[in-house]
Amino acid sequence: MSYQTQELLKAIRIEGDDWQAAVHEQIEAGRNFFLILPEGADALKNFCHSFGLQADCLPGHFNRSDLLRMGQYVDGVAFDEMLAAWDADDLVVFLEQLDFPINRPPQVKPFLVYSPLWGILSQHDDVRLARNWLEDSEHWDRTRLSQPHVYQWTSNAWKML
């Protein structure tokens, strides 16, 4: 998995039949993304349960000022959809890939280059390779990313090195 940062962040509305496939696509790609939950906290609990997360899996809610700060990294359709969601009193949350149980060894390698904005940029078997990837400016545009770091899986949690 190696994330392409030219793709902007997406939003997935939790309704209809195809939302789970859209979530799986984002998880498989290692991308962070937004959820729009028309049914509020109950839908959030159901989502967390569906993806093997604890019922309180998402600590905070995403608001308009957060969106305005991140706006340049958000897909235009997603941006507009989130604004409409707040007008309709829907819940909007930002999901990070490190929270998903599927993104733990052995499903992924024990060293990740991870950005709190974009998600999993790359994964490695060795810390040296991860650091080399991070140092290599050909892999990502430093002006467009929030600070990526190398993370290691230790003691049942991801730790930033």
- Model-level pTM? 0.87
- 69: Cβ contacts below 8 Å, ≥ 6 apart: none
More confident residue, 5 or 95: 95
- 42: Cβ contacts below 8 Å, ≥ 6 apart: none
Q: What does the block give as tokens for 120?
A: 């999993």
More confident residue, 6 or 94: 94
More confident residue, 127 or 53: 127
Give the residue-averaged pLDDT of 24-42.
89
For the chain, where are the alpha helices, taking DSSP H only? Answer: 19-29, 41-50, 64-70, 76-87, 127-135
Give the residue-averaged pLDDT of 89-97.
90
The predicted-structure confidence for 129-143, as pLDDT tens digits, reads as follows 999 998 885 656 554
3-state secondary structure (DSSP) of residue 75: coil
Give the residue-averaged pLDDT of 47-58.
75
Q: What does the block give as tokens for 144?
A: 């467009």
Q: Please, is 129 exposed, middle or buried when counting C-beta atoms within 10 Å of its C-beta (0-12, 13-18, 19+)? A: middle
More confident residue, 88 or 5: 88
Residues in the chain: 161
3-state secondary structure (DSSP) of residue 13: strand
Domain spans in the chain, listed from the N-terminal domain onward: 11-99, 104-160
Question: If pLDDT is split at 50, 70 and 90, which confidence band does 17 have?
Answer: confident
Q: Is the pLDDT assigned to residue 1 strictly greater than 70?
A: no
The predicted structure's pLDDT at residue 60 = 64
- 64: Cβ contacts below 8 Å, ≥ 6 apart: 83, 86
Residue 9 identity (one-letter amino acid):
L
The predicted structure's pLDDT at residue 139 = 57
